[in-house]
Amino acid sequence: MDLKDKTILITGSTDGVGRVVAQKLGAAGARILVHGRDAARGKAAVGEIEAAGGKAEFFAADLASLAEVRRLAEAVREKTGRLDILINNAGIGTAGEGAKRQVSADGYELRFAVNYLAGFLLTSELLPLLKASAPARIVNVASAGQQAIDFGDVMLTHGYSGVRAYCQSKLAQILFTVDLAEQLKGSGVTVNALHPASYMNTTMVRQAGVTPWSSVETGADAIVNLATSSALEGRSGLYFDGLRESRADAQAYDAKARQQLRSLSLDLVGQARSKSKEQHS
């Protein structure tokens, strides 16, 4: 894919694999919309891309707040008339052994909120822009760590573990990918998910107390492949393990589970919006 004049939003691109992806796609000629929580790191990431001759802008947002996700989408719409590629990369890890259950600004289990629900909402908000820019692509950075969603206790109020929370949130991303691919048929917008690489040398992996096995460059190459490979033109609803097409947990291919997750997600983002409006009225 020729990336000249293409606009790409990469969430979580001030650190780790997202930062390397931003550098690679910026060097290939795309205009990069860098996202993160920290303005200083954002400025540094933009500086690196520009120093290499690329174009970049920084957008600050904390994806633990759905109101901030909406503001991010609004800021992107104000800044650009097109969006060719959206890479939902931002995420938080397992936090290691003995992690305590945490909640988002909206009161939702934190890993489900940041790793999945924020991307669900951001994608929904930016779909009109992606469709107007078609052919366009959405890439969801998931994981090989997957655990079936327990619809009786999605927020993991019983028997919480950080690993379970992380694995559930990552599988939710894949269910969303398969579900959205069906909705987007004929629109010129494709959506695929991947596990970039196992235990990359990132802050997230080190915080979990794990010795890294693979490099962020390996993971970045896998993400760039989904975002730009001509072999993936028009192909959608797929899950990749690195550079290879693979199969996710069986729940991803269960139409009833995907419909359940979609209904729940619409309900959760709707509730958060209503609460936010009440607080500001």
Coil, helix or strand at residue 204: helix
Q: What mean pLDDT do residues 111-129 have?
A: 98
Q: What mean pLDDT do residues 245-267 have?
A: 98
Q: What mean pLDDT do residues 234-261 have?
A: 98
Give me the pLDDT at residue 11, please. 98
Give me the pLDDT at residue 203, please. 66
Write down the residue that tokens 């970039």 correspond to. 196
What is the C-alpha separation between 32 and 76, in angstroms, rounded? Answer: 11
Which of 105, 82, 85 lies closest to 28 in space, CA to CA?
A: 85
Q: Is residue 1 part of a domain?
A: no
Give me the pLDDT at residue 205, please. 63
Domain count, the chain: 1
> pLDDT confidence of 187, banded at 50, 70, 90?
very high
Active-site residue numbers? 166
Residue 221 has pLDDT above 90, yes or no: yes
Q: Is residue 169 part of a domain?
A: yes
pTM of the model: 0.95
Q: In what order do the strands lie in the sheet with 244-246?
A: 55-60, 31-36, 7-10, 85-88, 136-141, 189-195, 239-241, 244-246
Give me the pLDDT at residue 215, please. 81
Give me the pLDDT at residue 254, please. 98
Q: Is residue 224 part of a domain?
A: yes
Q: Is residue 171 part of a domain?
A: yes
Residue 118 has pLDDT above 90, yes or no: yes
What are 88's strand-pairing partners?
Answer: 140
What is the C-alpha separation between 225 and 202, in angstroms, rounded? Answer: 20
What is the C-alpha separation between 89 and 200, in angstroms, rounded? Answer: 14
Residue 206 has pLDDT above 70, yes or no: no
Tens digits of residue pLDDT in 79-109: 999 999 999 999 998 876 668 999 999 999 9
CATH number, domain at 250? 3.40.50.720
Tens digits of residue pLDDT in 17-59: 999 999 999 999 999 999 999 999 999 999 999 999 999 999 9
CB atoms within 10 A of CB 1: 16
What is the C-alpha separation between 227 and 221, in angstroms, rounded? Answer: 10
Give me the pLDDT at residue 95, please. 77
Residue 230 has pLDDT above 80, yes or no: yes
> pLDDT confidence of 276, banded at 50, 70, 90?
confident
> pLDDT confidence of 212, banded at 50, 70, 90?
low
Question: Considering the chain, what is the average pLDDT of its residues?
Answer: 94
Proportion of the chain above pLDDT 90, given as a percent: 86
Give the domain range for residue 14.
Answer: 7-280
